[in-house]
Structure 1
Amino acid sequence: MTAFALPALRQISLAVLMATASPVLWAQAASPASSPAPTARAEVGKPLQLAQDLLKSGKAVEALAELRVAEQVGSLNDYERYLIARTRAVAALKANELPVAVAAFEVALASPLTPAADRPSLLDTLARAQLQLRQYAPAAATLRRYVQEGGQDAAVRALLPQALYLSGDAGAAAKELLPMVQAEEAAGRKPSETSLRLLVSAYAKAKDEPGVYAALQRQAQHYPKPEVWAQLLSRVPDQPGFSQSLTLDLLRLKQATGALRDEAEDIELAILAMEGGLFTEALLALDAGTQAGRLGTGPNAGEHQKLRDKAAKASAKEKAQLASDRAAAQAAKDGHALTLVGTAAVSAGNPADAAKALADGLARGGVKKPDEARLHLAWAWVKAGHSAEAVKVLDTIKSEDGSAELARLWKTWLRAQAQK
């Protein structure tokens, strides 16, 4: 997983942390209908007040010393323990004594004297301190309490999946994070890239491959980087029912998305294209690989050149015969030959003319693999720069041999490009 930074320790203001931490040294006169105000004894209240004054002057270490004086009085009542915990929590934070701060927050949160309105802020700061201390499981528990006790800050809630992931519970992290991502999408907002990377990594760590695949699709949709598409498309052959006959179509999508990134795939694309009689497409793939520095160098450079020479010779013949091949296909009884000529013309001729030939062939009928031909038609429209036409064709592809999956991924990429 791409590392994410631990959340910053949010320094809650003194006014918030100490709103109820000023000692009442004597009981106020109470009306019969009211309960007596809690009190702190003078011998506890004096060092406690001094600690609070020192804090306001920025002297956190000295404040902690005064709190120890207050504690040494002994036989503390609940209110005194509460006041010391609240004051110690903020003093320890400011002194960067995080273990001391964590213990003080836990005492304060366990006290019934802590106002309900203060609890979310205290839980937020406690969780951040625990994360800084790498106490990931306790931090996750604290963040769950934050949600349960009404904490509404989305940034704090987003810490829970991180804490769960870092604690080793990747499955729970993904379970918490997915609804957050879905809520962002439902609201028309783009989830953060960090959230999507974490979602992918959490599913991977939990060995949930369907989850990884779905999360990568989201990441490719919102952040269509070549490396993301490479991860996503590498998993397509493992999807249920995917036909190996669509490998060349998959490589074309990899090429379009920038995910075609190594020598083996360049060679595979070229060889599959040549086996299908698409010599110009093979030649263009070999030249692209050479320009990218993947081919033409290293121990296999000689083999690369031999393959290119073969493709170049056949490409020249293919281009010379394209017009006559199309005429013969037009005279055929069905449209199958016309779709083959149209597929060749995407690279060897004009993509817009290729799209017309493919569309005419499909309209005639008799095409052996119509959804595969529709993938080629959509590819032709992409090459011709007509993405909207490509999407219309892709919407019609339904075969469960992998064609529909490739169509859906093509649409994801095209829509992401349109949003740039």
Structure 2
Amino acid sequence: MNPKSLSLTLKAALIAAALGFATSAQAAPQIRPEVGKPLQEAQKLIGDKNYKEALARISAAEQTAGSKISPYETYVIGRMRGVADLGIGDTNGAMAAFEAALKSGQTPDGEKLSSLQTLAQLAYSAKNFPKAIEYIGQYKAAGGNNPQITGLLAQAYYLGGKYPEAAQEIKAQLQKSGQAPSETQLQLLASCALKQNDANGYVEALQLLVSYHPKPSYWLDLIARTAGSKGFSDRLSLDLARLRYASGTLSTAGDYLDAAQLALQAGFPGEADQYVKAGYAKNALGQGSDAPRHARLKALVEKKIAEDQKTLAEGEKAAQKQASGDALVNTGLNYVGYQQYDKGIALIEQGIAKGNLKYANEAKLHLGYAQVLAGQKAKAQATLRGVQGSDGTASVAKLWMIRAR
């Protein structure tokens, strides 16, 4: 929340509350008449929005009270001065005045929470974040649970440069609320990680962002961070292209060309055709001086599909005869590229069952990927949860698990 807007809201609320305060204060037996009279005058001046003159009358009351000022008079004067200070825009003065009122020990039990809330808001709006943290903590300890106040704690930590504390508070809030986290909370969590150079923490925050607020920009950042993680294998480049296609983050001609070429190189012309058609549909391909190049790729994909369709059945039979399940997995993925999901999934499962796989975890990843595309979300979650490895395969599987929710 913007500290300035908070201050304006608080000012209006406090001034409205103060209009009936001085009269009740004068009626209290602890207030001497000579002290109460200028306070009553100050009340009228506050009602007329003449805050400067109101402060003069409050100072007169304080001077009259002198060294014999009672705790209750201290409380009343502090409250009135705080409202008038806020009226002239002196947030620091208002905070000091309300602090004095609270420390007088005369705050009624029913008003302590609201007083702590006021002080927390004032400190935050004055950008006195250590004080804001202090008073929000006291507010919570006293049983305060207004989310507009407790929600300021993480922001106060963050703006005060206490990034680990801010992240811890956000996580505690998320765990306690039991509700979907707001985009602002998760953005703050991500920023805390960046401020600490915590790459893993940032990726975790991005994973939450794409789970609850799946904007393409978050997906693009998350996929890029995953690809740049330590030990990530170039072998998974096509898997990243698949994620970008599914998340709507292929945008440029180069994106679509790269995805199509990776699919062709892997032997999946049907999948390559999806990327080419999508590129043309988005007007990313077929435009400008590179349009002839795009047309050549389109023609090549069509040629490869025609050739593949002639040998697909024979290739499946040959894969069945091999000792390793790799050929079955690849053949299954090829069918998935043609959107024949049931047949493709069955072949991938046969390949995994046969074993002797070069990359067993990658085969599981591709089974989960195919199940996601087929709409088999529960099965996909179970499959992808079992993917392991430190070469990036498990990281990609985790992203597909998010897509499968």
TM-score of the superposition, structure 1-length normalised? 0.83
Change (3 A) 1:21 1:376: same
Displacement after TM superposition at 1:59 (Å): 4.7
Q: Secondary structure at the match of 1:235?
A: helix
Q: How does 1:377-392 map to 2 (within 5 A)?
A: 377-392=367-382
Contact 2:19 2:44 in 1 (8 A): no
Displacement after TM superposition at 1:337 (Å): 1.5
Correspondence for 1:69 among 37, 60, 72: 60
**Corresponding letter in the other structure for 2:144:** G
Contact 2:18 2:83 in 1 (8 A): no
Displacement after TM superposition at 1:121 (Å): 1.5
**Corresponding letter in the other structure for 2:123:** Q
Aligned residues: 396
Q: How does 1:169-184 map to 2 (within 5 A)?
A: 169-184=162-177
Displacement after TM superposition at 1:334 (Å): 3.9
Equivalence for 1:368: 358
The CA RMSD over aligned residues, in Å, is 3.0
Q: Secondary structure at the match of 1:168?
A: coil
Equivalence for 2:392: 402
Correspondence for 1:350 among 329, 340, 353: 340
Query: 2:299 and 2:160 mapped to 1: Cα distance?
Result: 56
Contact 2:26 2:33 in 1 (8 A): no
Change (3 A) 1:95 1:335: same
Correspondence for 1:124 among 103, 117, 129: 117
Displacement after TM superposition at 1:287 (Å): 2.4
Displacement after TM superposition at 1:229 (Å): 1.7
Displacement after TM superposition at 1:398 (Å): 2.6
Correspondence for 1:45 among 31, 36, 45: 36
Query: 1:20 and 1:331 mapped to 2: Cα distance?
Result: 96
Contact 2:372 2:400 in 1 (8 A): no
Deviations 1:170-202 (A, max 9, x none): 333222222112223xx3x21222211211122
Query: 2:19 and 2:185 mapped to 1: Cα distance?
Result: 30
> Which structure 1 segments of 5+ residues have no match?
27-38, 416-420
Displacement after TM superposition at 1:212 (Å): 0.9
Percent identical pairs in the alignment equals 36
Equivalence for 1:33: none
Correspondence for 1:22 among 22, 25, 28: 25
- With 58-67 and 16-25 compared, the bigger mean Cα shift is at 16-25
Equivalence for 1:153: 146
**Corresponding letter in the other structure for 1:211:** G
Correspondence for 2:232 among 227, 232, 242: 242
Displacement after TM superposition at 1:298 (Å): 4.5
Deviations 1:137-177 (A, max 9, x none): 44334323433444332331110111222233333322222
Does residue 1:266 correspond to 2:256, yes or no?
yes
Instruction: Kindly indicate which of the two structures has a greater share of residues assigned to helix.
Output: 2
TM-score of the superposition, structure 2-length normalised? 0.86
Deviations 1:214-263 (A, max 9, x none): 11112222222322222222111233443221221122122212233444
Change (3 A) 1:139 1:297: farther
**Corresponding letter in the other structure for 1:48:** L
Equivalence for 1:314: 304
Correspondence for 1:340 among 303, 323, 330: 330
Displacement after TM superposition at 1:293 (Å): 3.4
Contact 1:355 1:377 in 2 (8 A): yes
Query: 2:338 and 2:290 mapped to 1: Cα distance?
Result: 27
**Corresponding letter in the other structure for 1:163:** A
Query: 2:159 and 2:172 mapped to 1: Cα distance?
Result: 19
> Which structure 2 segments of 5+ residues have no match?
none
Equivalence for 1:193: 183
Displacement after TM superposition at 1:53 (Å): 5.3
Does residue 1:98 correspond to 2:88, yes or no?
no
Displacement after TM superposition at 1:305 (Å): 3.3
Contact 2:342 2:374 in 1 (8 A): yes
Contact 1:47 1:67 in 2 (8 A): yes
**Corresponding letter in the other structure for 1:68:** S
**Corresponding letter in the other structure for 2:369:** W
Change (3 A) 1:148 1:261: farther
**Corresponding letter in the other structure for 1:227:** S
**Corresponding letter in the other structure for 1:267:** L
- With 298-307 and 274-283 compared, the bigger mean Cα shift is at 298-307
Contact 1:17 1:90 in 2 (8 A): no
Displacement after TM superposition at 1:285 (Å): 1.2
Contact 2:19 2:43 in 1 (8 A): no
Displacement after TM superposition at 1:413 (Å): 1.9
Correspondence for 2:242 among 248, 252, 257: 252
**Corresponding letter in the other structure for 1:201:** S
- With 296-305 and 159-168 compared, the bigger mean Cα shift is at 296-305
Displacement after TM superposition at 1:72 (Å): 3.7
Equivalence for 1:226: 216
Contact 2:335 2:343 in 1 (8 A): yes
